[in-house]
Amino acid sequence: MTTDPFDTSLTMTTEPESLLIGSYQAWRRLLDYSSDTFSLAYRLTPIGGGTVRTVSGTFDATNDWWVFTVGVSDMTGWDAGSYRWDLRLTRLSDSEVMDLSTGILQIYGTSEDRRTHAEIMVQKIESLLSGRADHDVESYSIKSRQITKMSAAELRQWRDYYVAEVARSGGSSNGVPAPKKNTVRVRWI
């Protein structure tokens, strides 16, 4: 027996944390709103400004849930970035709108850019450190202007900081797996 990954009865029951442009995504919500009286849609607003997008839901009467799908063709012209989502309930009789919930969603342009800021910084600092082997000049002057680069020790310090950030978030830096997270135990008195 094969599983159909496009079967909405198998999709996640919460909003996705991210979407990848050019990739199909579906999720469902068990909400007690009749499609005869209401419509449901996610409004995706870019945090840095840009075009607001909408993902409309369809009611699955067989299973009593709302299904939201974003297909490859639905994402044509979308921009990568951070979006604030609002799940909006619209009453069909008079078009009154109510926001039921809100959150943050990351939309990625390619699968390669799904790194955190800390992971990007580790890679950039490693690149700078590698370049120091070829061009080990920390400061120089041209006429009345002077340029001073960060020292190798400062770069290593920043690299260590970002490697620790990656480890705290559960990621890996340069193929080195993150250490296991510590368990914190609390006792209430």
Instruction: Kindly list the averaged pLDDT for each block of 10 residues, start to end, along the chain of length 189.
Output: 69 85 89 91 92 92 88 86 93 94 88 74 82 64 79 85 83 49 62
Confidence at residue 137, expressed as pLDDT on a 0 to 100 scale: 62
* Residues 94, 39 contacting (CB under 8 angstroms): no
Residue-level pLDDT at 175: 47
Output the pLDDT for position 103.
Answer: 93
Q: What pLDDT, on a 0 to 100 scale, did the predictor assign at position 132?
A: 64
Predicted local confidence at residue 177, as pLDDT:
43
Beginning with the edge strand found earlier in the chain, give each strand of the sheet holding 25-29 in spatial order: 18-20, 97-108, 81-91, 38-46, 53-60, 65-70, 25-29
DSSP H or E segment with residue 133: helix 117-134
Q: What is the pLDDT of residue 80?
A: 87
Q: Check: pTM over 0.85? Answer yes or no.
A: no
Q: What pLDDT sits at residue 185?
A: 65
Per-domain residue ranges of the chain: 8-112, 115-177
Multiple choice CATH, 8-112, 2.60.40.10, 2.30.30.280, 3.40.50.300, 1.20.120.160: 2.60.40.10
Q: How far apart are CA 42 and CA 132, in angstroms?
A: 48
Fill in the DSSP letter of residue 12.
Answer: B
Report how far residue 55's alpha carbon sits from residue 165's, in angstroms, rounded to the nearest whole number. Answer: 33
Short-list 25, 30, 21, CA closest to 11: 25
